[in-house]
A and B are shown apart, each in its own frame.
Chain A
Amino acid sequence: MTADIQPARTISITTTSLASRLYGLGSLSAKTLRDSRRAMLLLGGFLALIWLISGASMATAFGTPAARQEAVELTRTLPALFLGLYGGDATNVDTLGGLANWRYGLVFFVFPAFWSILALSGTLVGEVRRGSMDLLAASGLTRTRVALEKVGAHVAAMAIVMLAIALFAWLVGQVFYTLPGDHIALEASLAYALAMGLTALAGGAIAFALAPFIGRGGAAGIGAAVMFSGWIVNGFRDTIPAFESLAPLSWYTWTAGHRPIAGNWDWPSMLPVAVLVVAGIAVGIAAFIRRDLGDIGSLRTPSQPTAVLGISGPLGRSFGERLPDALGWGVGLGVYSAVVGASADSLRESLTGNEAIQGLFAAAFPGFNLNEPGVALQLMFVGFGMLAIGLAAAAIVHGWSSDESDGRLEMLLATPQDRFRWMIRSGLGVFAALAVVTLVVALAVALGVGLSGENPLTPIVGTVALALFALAVGGIGMAIGGLVRPSLAGPAAALVVVVTFLVDILVPALQLPEEVRQLALTAHFGEPMLGTWDPVGIVLALALAFGGLAIGALGFARRDLGD
């Protein structure tokens, strides 16, 4: 045998291109930006669509000076409750920018903030939890650099989305220009986008600062609560006396005078928001640097009682696992429904106190009985409630699908459990959790309507429409998850909800045929808060729910386990 003498090897070092250092796998920030691409596209696409709706509705429904005047009158005489939900002030609504700012302020300011909260609450803590931070922190990068690159990438992602939206808003102003004042100056759209992005980052910065101390879930929850309650407090500061003293704490109040697309400028008001963002990020980075890697606190919440943990079988386990989320969604939605439910009286007074508005209202909602206790809920809650409970259903279905996508079923289905039956039972657990969401909302409705001195029975029964919609969404999600793959269950359900929501708002805005609106399941429930029901919606929702579950179970029993 002869020896194999190996020659000395030449060493070649891999190189990284500038492009991949900016976006891709060339640097930590580039990878973080790459990981954000779907969220950027979703948020950017959604905001662009809202701008398109604003432009189109301004050109069609409010194309004449007289129609614009009607819009102005409407905002002046609308109950404060309506204005509060839209963010309060209605400025220059006779212009495209003013109307978009007033009508869609909630979308423009709250949706990006939710994204920022979700992203920043987990950008470091999520990596720590997964264990990948151990590798990152040992890769030669300092912890400060790791934190700065991760946060910087999110700020860059937000800036890209906002820049794109600013350009789109400017373009909409050019394309849908109908009357003087409709043009949106590029400077104004850029300034407005900067305000949107910076206020969004404020919520994210709070979540980022808290995450090392209380974990991702708690930080995101508190960040979202602070942000959204700030929006509500600002919107209702003139309506609810108790909010007057809280309003100065809200960054939406600080910046209420800075709405460049509506013609209002107040640059100095942005300064404290910028300070808040920098401070929040600095606290988060300092905590990340100083604490042991992996030392993440958690928000102390009461333990789930053993009786509802559901360890007796798949149905109970599925329900028990989803119960905390169901209660969270129920309480969040319930608070809102209670406030709206309690306002039936003031709404009625506002609508009946002005003949012009009463006429407008009667034309818009023929046959609407203003004396019904659920009138405020039907007008101001059902639409949003359907969106919210639909998203709750999508989130709960996503949790359900994680049994398979995370690998729990690998062991579970090695026990004597038939796959079809397992899916039916665990799916019924999901439905039970959605029933809990509705039950909490129903209790809140009862409280709200009861406080206004009305009989809450009809509105309580009306909340069943929310449950039906949620069950239908859940059934669709589980059908997709069972037939195709588990990771599609939640996104498919969320897509159904978002498309339904868009159909609901696009049809009137773009004056599309009523047949298009009939495509949305939500168009088939009647006016449930007023006691008027459409059996078509009930049957359709139940068929989608239980039919979807059965189809999903059949598909699941026939395909390979795993994503």
Chain B
Amino acid sequence: MTAVIQTEKLTKFYGRHRGIVDVDLEVAEGEAFGFLGPNGAGKTTMIRTLLNHIRPTSGRATVFGIDTTVDPVAIHRRLGYLPGEFVLYDKLTGGQTIEYFANLQGGVDSAYQADLIARLDLDPSRKFREYSKGNKQKVGLVVALQHRPELLLLDEPTSGLDPLVQQTFYGVIREAKAEGRTIFMSSHILSEVEKTCDRVAIIRDGRLAKVDRVEALRDLAHHQVELRFAGPVPAAEFEGLAGVSDVVVEDHTLRMRVSGPITPIVLAAARHEVVDFVSREPTLEETFLAEYGQGAGEVA
């Protein structure tokens, strides 16, 4: 399958500050690709380099086989972009903003544009400055999607959207994927990536730590369990249980990481007076970082 995005030793430094370092990545045509990493890891730098908004310090990136620094306009003609944070024209309404971007794209299918506005439940008659964060995000999504681009670059696309609109967004993304379009999105939400992506990359300290298929996530699934006891913490009883690791005691609270079934923990806890029991599924990022966080791993 043809690679839509390809980077070779892609590196960007802002003066002495690190952006991304030696990133080798390939995203195939029609693939939905998740890009994960903590704040400041280099996610936005990566996306902005692909757009040629910033120029690589070394290495190279191609999109649709075109070097990003050689003909960015040809690339932009075929992509849709939603930044993590963006500002648009306060004096224009949402509808006028969408129309302006449609003009800059050289025209769009007005029926599809109207359909997107309706599905995202956006009131296009209000001034952009009057919108809430979520509604501004909707305008950004329509702008990114309305010209049916072959590649979608989405930075935290569901940030600020309510759950219902998030579902609509996932639907739109699924349709785009079904139509063979490529999606490259950064996210912090496990369920979002599970619903939309085929593969996931983890970036940490500017370097690619891991690239794997989403199915691999499920094998890594674990829980963060926190027990608060009325009396002293019987830590030893839990340390020996299968799948338990990273046990930490603080006052009357016991924290641990549990891989596999949680039943043995519940049974052991039942033998004591437990004031509180919290079991939390970690984020995808935590899962990956816990597994691959110690230095850069191999890239699949």
Contact = CB atoms under 8 A, between A and B. Distances in A.
Interface of A: 1-6, 304, 306, 309, 311-314, 317, 321, 406-408, 410-418, 560-562
Contact of A6 (B77, B82, B248): B248
Contact of A311 (B53, B99, B140, B247): B99
Contacts of A6: 248-250
Contacts of B140: 411
20 contacts: A1-B245, A2-B247, A3-B247, A4-B247, A314-B104, A408-B88, A410-B83, A411-B81, A412-B101, A413-B76, A414-B81, A414-B153, A415-B76, A416-B76, A416-B77, A416-B104, A416-B106, A560-B55, A561-B53, A562-B53
A315 to B, nearest CB: 12
Nearest to B85: A407
A396 B106 CA distance: 28
B87 A1 contact: no
B248 A412 contact: no
A411 B76 contact: no
* Chain B contact residues, majority secondary structure: mixed
A408 B87 contact: yes
Given A314-B104, A414-B80, A562-B53, 15 more contacts: A1-B245, A1-B247, A2-B239, A3-B249, A4-B248, A309-B92, A313-B104, A408-B88, A408-B89, A410-B83, A411-B82, A411-B143, A414-B79, A415-B101, A416-B105
Contacts of A317: 89, 100
B248 A416 contact: no
A347 to B, nearest CB: 42
B55 A3 contact: no
Contacts of B91: 304, 309, 321
B48 interface: yes
A3 B96 contact: no
A297 B235 CA distance: 60
B101 A411 contact: yes
Contacts of A413: 51, 53, 76
Interface string B160-186: 000000000000000000000000000
Nearest to B49: A560
Interface string B3-45: 0000000000000000000000000000000000000000000
Q: Which of A3, A317, A560 gathers the greatest number of chain B CB atoms within 10 Å? A: A3
Contact of A415 (B96, B104, B254): B104
Given A3-B248, A416-B76, A560-B53, A311 B103 contact: yes
A289 to B, nearest CB: 25
B296 interface: no
B278 interface: no
Given A407-B83, A408-B88, A411-B88, A3 B53 contact: no
A321 B89 contact: yes
A84 B54 CA distance: 55
A1 B96 CA distance: 62
A313 B248 CA distance: 60
Contacts of B76: 413-417
- Closest 8 interchain pairs by CB? A414-B81, A3-B235, A311-B100, A561-B53, A416-B77, A415-B104, A560-B54, A407-B87
